[in-house]
Structure 1
Amino acid sequence: AVTRGDGTKGEPILEQVRHIAAIPQSLPERNLELRGELYLPLGEFERYRDRFQSPRNLAAGAVKQKDPSRTAEFGLRFFVYDVLGRTFERERDKFELARRLGFPDLDYSVVRGGEALAVFQDFQRRRYDQPYELDGVVFKVDQVAAQEVLGGTAHHPRYALAYKFASRETETIVREVQWGVGRSRVITPVALVEPVLLSGATIRRVTLHNVGQLRRLGVTLGCTVKITRRGDVIPYISEVTAPGDTPVEIPLRCPSCGAPTEERTEGRLLGAADNREDASLYCSGTTSCSSAARAFLEHYLKAVGCEGFGERLIERLYEFGLVRTPVELYALTVEDLLPLERMGETLAAKLVEHIAATRHQRLATFLEALGLPGVGRRMAEQLEAEFGTLEALRTADRESLVRLPGIGERVADALLEGLRDKGEAITALLREIVLSPPPPKTRGALEGLGFLFTGTLESMDRRDAEALVLAAGGRVLSGVSKDLDYLVVGRSERVSGKLRKAEKLRAEGGKVELVEESRWLRLLEERGVAVK
């Protein structure tokens, strides 16, 4: 039993699932795979409403309990929406099998095409009368043989379509705007609103993302705003419906360290001719900002895969003066950690051991951990593959970076500036860690070809697919660009941004091909690339 995870890899939850009464503890035959939705009935959620925002979030936490037996306390339910490993004549036969196996019934209807709209409207009318949260309806062709004939496009099966209900909206009043500092020193406005219930959650805080959006929307203190939850999850201010009486003061100094603030757009200081509605607010303090420093520590630890360091522990380490920068992590001892609240010798020893395990890093891991502008995992791996060593990257010029897929002049300038700004930190870290030699460049069957993946692959984890491409001499790009040869499209519940960009690029005469996973696997086979 595994979760859907991030779309490429799920988490094992077998022991927790054994404690969910609504799920049978055994299946009558091997090689049978049931896919479905784990959910928390609204009636069960009432017991937790004062402590949790939504049934969805609580269900996700309930199935990840460290003590698996505690999962039984929450009253989780599970319905099956697909069955693999057996041949079926009709789609509804899958639901009937699931019912016979002891799974709860799935609410479905069998309709003719002309009745689909009426059925959708009926579900929408009954949406808030259900004992669970409901955000849409999926229509599928019932005859499985017809499904196979219809096949699919690059991004969805032709025999199934999902229709989402419109997100609920409500109005509330902005009472205050607070400002938070992130690891890159960006200062983000957050609106504190009059508490309002929306889609089963009480909304009190809504991010405004940046100072430019605050200006675009015209948010003022006391204004009335319309709020929706995108995907019934993320609160979002869509518009101001009535102005307030007090302008929001843009902080002239960082709320964390007191350093002067500065407005930037596209990585440079805002000029007189720039649109102030495109600006972001930054703290000008480079090393003195405690909020930015703690956020950077959290980012570094996550990027290098160092387990056990949550937000509260990082905050305590900072407050005690034990760790202010990543390099100070490597000086921590068990004795340093023991005085901290709820810290025993066993836990302290494990934390020190986890830190020691990060002393050997790939260049790609190190680059991502540095928090350089625009450098995530994909770009870090691309830079590692191109330059091989940190020295080569630090001496690279703008032109050599711009030649790489997905890196324009602004990204290249920001990256080079970031490397210069972090020069002292890099030097200090290199006294504590060792960068592993880069893997040898290979000439292979996919040499010269650029690939990018979107959606969930059925045959393998996405990282395994990317490793397969790299091992065969191909390139894995960080985004859609003119250098992309193949966008491999896996299963997805929605049309991704990558797919939209690739379709636009192709319509403009670009060389990119949109291929389903099965076509990609055939391409590997045709070129002699072995797939395990």
Structure 2
Amino acid sequence: MSAADAPEEGNPYLRDPPTEFDPLEDLSEDEAREHVELLREAIREHDRRYYVENDPIVADRTYDALFARLRELEEAFDLAHPDSPTRSVGGEPIEEFETVEHVAPMLSIDQSGEAGDVREFDERVRREVGDVEYVCEPKFDGVSMEFVYEDGSLERAVTRGDGREGDDVTRNARTIGSVPQRLHGNYPDFLAVRGEVYMPKDAFQEHNRERIERGEDPFANPRNATAGTIRQLDPSVVAERPLEVFYFDVLDSSDGADTHREELERFPEWGLRVNDRVEVADGSGERSAIEAAIDYRDRMLEARDDLPYEIDGVVVKVDDRDAREQLGRTARHDRWAFAYKFPARAEVTPIVDVAVQIGRTGRVTPVALLEPVDVGGVTVSRASLHNPEEIAAKNVDVGDTVRVQRAGDVIPYVEEVVEKGDENEPESHYELPDRCPVCDSAIERDGPMAYCTGGLACDAQLRRSIEYYASDDGLDLEGVGEKTVRQLVDEGLLESIADLYELESESLVALEGWGETSATNLLSELDSAREPPLPNFLSALGVPHVGPATARELAREFGTFEAIHETAETEPDRLEGVDDVGETVAEQIHDFFVSEANAAAVDAILEHVSPQEVDLETGGDELEGLTFVFTGSLEGMTRGDAQELVEAHGANATSSVSGNTDYLVVGDNPGQTKRDDAAENDVPIVDEEAFRELLGASGIDLR
């Protein structure tokens, strides 16, 4: 056993610590070193009391002051150390995780949702080792990890992986407050423990709210959020997210205990956080041990919704260590443990909170944040409430239990309120905010709908506008999808649609996940779209109610972008003569073009882009019935020219490959996705020369 590592009572930073400190220049290096050791010792003890004992002895502000002082001293006197609590604030990003073999196998657990299977497990255990006692624990729905301590210091933290080896995520684990950098008390010289990293439910909902309001997709459940966080390559991102840990098993130790319960009793002494719902099923009284375990599971099922963390069942473990060794393991799971699972929540679930999502046009959509629920085999943690008027019509409030359905088996929505929550709670009554949570612009009502007035100055609208500009309904820019746009906006490379055309290879290559090839492909794709077909460009701008079909009709009617723009500004009633454009749509088009923000955005784009004029004279029907898709840069013509050409001769030109496509025409630097789709759908792939030969064979004179 190692020497005790408990803080001395003489430490001035333990109880009623100072929060004002001597200037750095008044300290010698020896004095600074002494203060650093005392601060580290005290902060570790404060962490233990906060995370393990749930009994802090200093206020949060005091703790923050001590932490800041420690970091200041370490930086000023070059006293950084891997064990220091300041390592919890993150560090430089890494390129990839190293694969590490576990100290002992981290196997899965045999499981079932049927009580009969649990009793069969007990019969087998008693048949092989006799009567036993069980330790019952919640089955946490998080990420299982191995934590290895040598001489009391955290040596490494490794994900479960395949059970034999996993990813070394030590730098990320150090940012989690409930992961001690050093153990306390009389700890073993060597200790490898298994823990579950998780995101508390309240923190998960708040994190999802922030993601929705930033225009990002929320996580389906806390487990996915945890898994996505712990494998971030940037530890500072992990440090910002609210992760916690429960420790629940010893994988290996230089000083083992006889029973599992003894191990769990020691954990808090060492600073390792243990769940307070653990119970021993000893078969005392009239019930057998396994019946006591089944009763424990039933009680935990009733308490499930009130717990601050997600569990999906309970784990029943043989307590005696020697009996565990006798029972052994299979290739996949330990034979001394069994998980008694809960039934999945189905369709009916409570609303925890309501966030608002800002769409491309500024439309505000209230989104219910739910306790994760199974709907048609899919885990759902959010559902649309459509608009403020529907909230009122369905009398939906925070805390209500609702039935969730999926429209067309895709989009979740709240169908009805099953049970009202506590209407006496003020926070249960939802009201649409007056200001946009993304840009703080005013939110205005328009009949049943609500809109953010921020326009392209709103990051949420900007991101979605860029995504739409590059989408199949816009300019079909391959490689400019949701993930790429979010990254470029977050990195400050895109503040407008026009910024797409000012991207530089050097800036792109410096980003995570980018290389010379991907940067070159993107810039080539953008260059090939500098003279887009007029209908594509008009649709790409995201003018309300102007999709590809309406944009095509407007282009055929007016021929040039300038003519459409001027007519929309000065004579919007003339637009009503176009198919699919009525009074309301004409008014929306007018409002778009007279908006100063939109006008500035369009002018900026036109500095880089020249939409093609539409030849109002029609060609022939030589290509009637054929459908073409184009990718890459063509040498003798732009992609827009090619699309316009085949359409003028009766063919269709679409932006994506499907089973209805007849030819995929491939130029220089083509997109891989369309080629993969062509291969999957047995669509012929032709180069530019073959395309020209095909046109010539149809009697089309390219001159």
TM-score normalised according to structure 1 size: 0.50
TM-score normalised according to structure 2 size: 0.38
